Amino acid sequence: MNEAVKRNLLGLDAQALGRFFEALGEKPFRARQVLRWIHQQSESDFARMSDLSKALRDKLAETACIVAPAIVGDTPAEDGTRKWLVKVDGANAVESVFIPETARATLCVSSQAGCVLDCSFCATGKQGFNRNLTAAEIVGQLWSANKILGVERKTERIISNVVFMGMGEPMLNLDHVIPALRLMLDDNAYGLSRRRVTVSTSGVIPGIDRLRDECPVALAVSLHAPNDRLRDELVPVNRKYPLSALIAACNRYLEKAPRDFITFEYVMLEGVNDTEAHAREAAALARRVRCKYNLIPFNPFAGSGYKRSSAERIRRFAEILQRAGVTVTTRKTRGDDIAAACGQLAGDVADRTRRSARRVPIKEVHA
């Protein structure tokens, strides 16, 4: 059978893989065996799956395949961060980023090629939207990372944390994101804790509610502004789902979330959203939902029109939040020398949105 028409098993969660084996006339437990081979052993050759009968291995070779998207670029940073360029088809490539730390190893994965949301400070948004990634293309980023790192370090399952903070809006691709999440959580696959898998959203409320009901993991919200007027400019999806509705959705999510707080991501833009008045507004939002703030120094890219807030301005913003009893961290910038830091994932792309030509950045400098 031509590989193009074979079933790619890489993106099938336990339930879907069980149905596949049932259609083959095989016992359901075969799904568990094959899940372990694919995701724990990073195996793509059915012939080497030694606890399967030869007849089954031959049948699988005829009807199925295990194919991850190709890694076509591998760029290391001085701080140990590593960016992979992942080719998903003849026209599109996405990026995933490996972030090693002392106590954990995090992989930042992409869920779409490009992004439709056009946040004003994000390089990915300038690429426009091309297509959703399949579950195999999403989990394939994790599969490939573990395989590459495992060979280099002579060990298995390197990645301890996964964050959906790469290219795209995960809540607009949940038909594929949810099966990928289930594989990440499955003890027969990657066995990650729900607390160690984080989905980030710009505030797509129907997606937040669906994720809550079907596969709740840690949730991060790209907030970036403490009031609707400013957020309408920075994060245009706010015009459809304003802050009052977003806070209500976050509170609903907390009913089933593995963590008892929502992380609010807040990119620090000089003179735009970083004043003391903004910090007080951000603290007021925190009284309406259990949350913590993650302040992110802006990572510049060509044509953005923004500058990074000064270290002192970020320190003062954090201090105001802390005095109000809000938990706050300031993200250490990783991988900015290889354009792998937050908001930089896009590669060399044309500005398909033309937003930079039609927008004058808001300046809110009054305290």
| Neighbouring C-beta atoms of residue 349, cutoff 10 Å | 12
Give pLDDT tens digits for 163-186: 999 999 999 999 999 999 999 999
Q: How confident is the model at residue 339 (pLDDT cuts 50, 70, 90)?
A: low
Ordered DSSP codes for 271-295: TTT-SHHHHHHHHHHHTSS-EEEEE
What does the radius of gyration of the chain's CA atoms come to, in whole angstroms?
21
Residues 197-213: tens digit of each pLDDT: 999 999 999 999 999 99
Nearest to 221 by CA among 210, 235, 232, 233: 235
Structure tokens at 300: 């510049």
DSSP label at residue 308: B
Supply the DSSP string of 250-271, one letter for each residue: HHHHHTT-SSSSEEEEEEEBTT
Would residue 30 count as lying in a domain?
yes
Supply the range of the domain harboring residue 179: 70-358
Catalytic residue among 108, 291, 342, 364: 342
Last residue of a domain, one of 65, 84, 113: 65
Whether residue 345 sits in one domain with residue 269: yes
- Domain annotation covers residue 104: yes
Tokens 């730390």, residue?
Answer: 101
Q: What is the C-alpha separation between 290 and 299, in angstroms, rounded?
A: 27
Structural contact between residues 106 and 160, judged by C-beta atoms closer than 8 angstroms: yes
* 364: in domain: no
Q: Which residues pair with 107 in a beta bridge?
A: 98, 162
Same domain, 204 and 244: yes
95 is catalytic: yes
Residue 266's SS3 state is strand
- The reply to whether 60 and 85 lie within a common domain is no
| Whether 8 contacts 136, CB under 8 Å | yes
258 alpha-carbon distance from chain centroid: 17
Instruction: Examine residue 365 and state whether it is found in any structural domain, yes or no.
Output: no
Examine the domain organization and report whether 93 and 22 are in the same domain: no
Q: Does residue 47 sit in the same domain as residue 144?
A: no
Phi, psi (rounded to 5 degrees) for 9: -80, -10
Q: Domain check: are 35 and 148 in the same one?
A: no
Number of domains in the chain: 2
Task: Please check whether residues 258 and 350 belong to one and the same domain.
Answer: yes
Question: Of 42, 65, 88, which marks where a domain is finished?
Answer: 65
How high does pLDDT run on average in the chain? 89
Tell me the pLDDT band of 125, cut-offs 50, 70 and 90. Answer: low
**Residue 323 placed within a domain:** yes
**Catalytically annotated residue among 95, 137, 265, 364:** 95
Given pLDDT bands bounded at 50, 70 and 90, which one contains residue 351?
very low
Provide the CATH number for the domain around residue 20. Answer: 1.10.150.530
Give the CATH number of the domain where residue 347 resides: 3.20.20.70
Q: Is the pTM of this model over 0.85?
A: yes
Q: Tokens for 293?
A: 């703030």
